[in-house]
Amino acid sequence: MALVPYDDRDGWIWWDGEFVPWRSAQLHVLSHGLHYASAVFEGERCYSGHIFKLRAHTERLIASARILGFEIPWTAEQIDAACTETVRRNGFTDAYVRPIAWRGAEEMGVAAQHTKVHLAIATWEWGAYFGVEQRMKGVNLAMAKWRRPHPETAPTASKAAGLYMIGTMSKHAAMDQGADDALMLDWKGDVAEATGANIFFNMGGELHTPTPICFLDGITRRTVMGLAKQHQVKVVERTIAESEMKDANEVFLAGTAAEVTPVRQIGDLTFTPGKLTETLMRDYEALVRLSPEEVARRGA
């Protein structure tokens, strides 16, 4: 099946307050964000016409930009409205939404105080991140060579574009080995996350997940933790050594793109998706299709 390039599609992209035809949404090659990674973004999913936890994503986008030292010149309310209208303008009810903010081309070099900050929002129909069949039987994770950096060496609390390069490199290496994705350790050698999703382990009926000290505390991560607690499942956030993974009887990933995806293998370790994973998958799939008001009422 031939891929449709992302720069050659029909539709509309919201760009600095206006809708432009998809193919016309282009930036200059000397944009600061391209050369120095001064860009932040979000990944959101729209289900049944509602963007799941839109305000939480928008607030994180604004916070990520501030961590990188720039202010997005639109309010959270304006960004929310733009995301919603972008989905509507493109005629979607189920879609992926990508807001991105970056520094422009007014200044070149490491310093960027005089650049203009831009914001664009695109949306497209995107199914299961790992494919439906692969997701249901569980994904295979290789061990990444690259590690998530110490929070004093990189802006790890932001969803910054530059932080994903080692994720790309790790995922490519994993796919070259025949795996679906890679598990990344932190700078200490403890378990961190996959290249674009958080990880959970069922250990003795408790749900264990690494403390997000050098990677994003994902919105889907927090949602899944809330769902688990509603089932009276104890959730433990802690440092998890690589050697402890063998003690888990279920493992799954959680992220906006990945949603809740079982893991069947990490390196030489194998796991069988079980009842807890299935329950949280089902609960999450039901939750995201509720109205924002109902999601808020349920407190998940």
Instruction: Give average pLDDT by consecutive 10-residue segment, the chain, 300 residues.
Output: 85 98 97 97 97 98 98 98 98 97 96 96 87 75 98 97 98 97 98 98 97 97 97 98 98 96 97 94 95 86
Task: Please tell me what DSSP assigns to residue 60.
Answer: H
Is 82:42 a contact under the CB 8 Å cutoff? no
What does the alpha-carbon distance between residue 170 and residue 191 come to, in Å, rounded to a whole number?
A: 15
State the Cα–Cα distance between residues 192 and 213, nearest whole angstrom.
9
Is residue 162 within 8 Å of residue 138, measured between CB atoms?
no
Q: Are 265 and 271 in contact (CB under 8 A)?
A: yes
Distance spanning both ends of the chain, measured CA to CA:
38
Per-residue model confidence (pLDDT) at position 133: 66
Dihedral angle sign, alpha carbons of residues 2, 255, 84, 71: negative
Say which residue the tokens 């889907």 belong to: 220
**Predicted pLDDT at 134:** 64
Active site residue 234: no
Residue 187: what pLDDT? 98
Tokens of 268: 């030489």
Structure tokens at 18: 């206006």
Catalytic residue among 116, 137, 145, 159: 159
Query: What's the predicted TM-score (pTM) here?
Result: 0.95
Q: How far apart are CA 176 and CA 63, in angstroms?
A: 35
pLDDT for position 127? 80
Kindly list the structural domains of the chain, giving each domain's residue range(s) and its CATH number in brackets, ordered by start: 12-124 (3.30.470.10), 132-298 (3.20.10.10)
Q: What is the pLDDT of residue 297?
A: 87
Beta-sheet strands, E only, within the chain = 12-15, 18-21, 39-41, 44-47, 50-51, 95-103, 117-124, 139-143, 181-185, 191-194, 198-203, 206-210, 235-238, 250-255, 259-266, 269-270
